């Protein structure tokens, strides 16, 4: 992994800001989609595509690439935006989100675009798929890593915990689960609807190594991934604490933005805020 210099960190923060702007524009164009989770994961997906992953946008099916799976497919606007700014396809294509015939459907579809890795929709499936990929890599002697991004609310699904059990059994130290711990789901707080805590202790009980970090702090997340990659003999989970709607003041912390897009006036306000923040980032470069 390359050195995270102050200059590189500033570049990454600017890219995360642009990723958020891409999310807002795509959701406005679509007229539907999920705002809160997409925005809060912009720092993490930017870190993956611009810094952490071993991948090649010009050769997206490179066999030795790291695998990045998005289990909670409804926040795919953040994945599309991060991929566009990493060079996988033109940024202008983000405006085709959820359009008939577009490659950018409301949930990622593996056959529509290289390197999406899996088709996701039903929650709770991603870690099972990632566990299979990581186990296959072990069996084939491959060095790539498998990263699975999950939501906290999908930990309410039984299949997810079957995968946690399986990965622990096979000591898949080439598998990393990243949890978007934003504490919300479509009907309110996760802890009101189906409490998840003590989440870290549950993973430890299944023989996983557990890390926790601020998922909206780019440097802290990258440093946590570096530590996690050094773990041997067991899979790793990073509980990334995030603010739903991060970067847009009127959305932050509000679960009602889980599954709706901004209208024109709201999008304009969001883009003004984000552009002002981008100017602050670059001014301190």
pLDDT at position 3 is: 78
Tokens of 56: 């090649």
Domain presence at residue 209: yes
What range defines the domain where residue 71 resides? 6-283
CATH of the domain at 246: 3.40.50.970
Domain presence at residue 125: yes
| Strand locations in the chain (E) | 67-70, 146-151, 175-181, 184-185, 188-189, 209-214, 236-241
How many domains are contained in the chain?
1
Q: What pLDDT digit, counting tens, does each position of 140-176 carry?
A: 999 999 999 999 999 999 999 999 999 999 999 999 9
Specify whether the CB–CB gap between 46 and 218 falls below 8 A. yes
Pairing of strands 188-189, 184-185: antiparallel
Domain presence at residue 127: yes
Distance CA(221)–CA(232), nearest Å, equals 19
Specify whether the CB–CB gap between 9 and 219 falls below 8 A. yes
Query: Which residues touch 272 (CB under 8 Å, ≥6 apart)?
Result: none
Domain presence at residue 99: yes
Specify whether the CB–CB gap between 233 and 208 falls below 8 A. no
Domain presence at residue 91: yes
Tokens of 11: 């570049």
Name the pTM for this structure.
Answer: 0.97
Tokens of 171: 């000591």
Domain presence at residue 1: no
pLDDT at position 232 is: 98
pLDDT at position 121 is: 84
Domain presence at residue 85: yes
Q: For the chain, which residues score pLDDT lower than 70?
A: 1-2, 285
pLDDT at position 1 is: 57
Q: Which residue has the tokens 């994961």?
A: 41
Domain presence at residue 129: yes
């Amino acid at each position: 992994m390359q050195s995270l210099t102050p200059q590189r960190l500033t570049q990454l923060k600017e890219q995360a800001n642009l990723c958020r702007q891409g999310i807002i524009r795509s959701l406005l164009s679509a007229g539907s989609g999920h705002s809160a989770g997409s925005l809060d994961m912009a720092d993490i997906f930017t870190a993956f595509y611009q810094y952490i992953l071993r991948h090649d946008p010009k050769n997206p099916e490179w066999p030795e690439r790291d695998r990045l799976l998005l289990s909670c497919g409804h926040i795919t606007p953040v994945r599309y935006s991060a991929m566009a700014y990493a060079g996988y396809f033109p940024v202008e294509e983000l405006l085709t989100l959820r359009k008939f015939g577009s490659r950018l459907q409301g949930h990622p579809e593996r056959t529509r675009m290289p390197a999406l890795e899996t088709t996701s929709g039903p929650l709770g499936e991603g870690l099972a798929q990632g566990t299979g990929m990581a186990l296959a890599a072990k069996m084939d002697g491959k060095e790539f890593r498998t990263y699975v991004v999950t939501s906290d609310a999908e930990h309410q699904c039984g299949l997810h915990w079957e995968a946690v059990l399986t990965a622990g059994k096979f000591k898949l130290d080439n598998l990393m689960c990243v949890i978007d711990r934003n504490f919300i789901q479509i009907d309110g707080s996760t802890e009101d609807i189906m409490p998840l805590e003590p989440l870290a202790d549950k993973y430890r009980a299944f023989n996983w190594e557990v890390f926790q970090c601020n998922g909206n702090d780019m440097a802290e997340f990258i440093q946590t991934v570096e530590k996690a990659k050094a773990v041997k003999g067991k899979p790793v989970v990073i509980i990334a604490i995030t603010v739903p709607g991060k970067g847009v003041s009127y959305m932050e912390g509000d679960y009602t933005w889980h599954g709706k897009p901004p209208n024109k006036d709201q999008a304009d306000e969001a883009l003004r805020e984000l552009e002002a923040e981008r100017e602050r980032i670059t001014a301190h470069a």
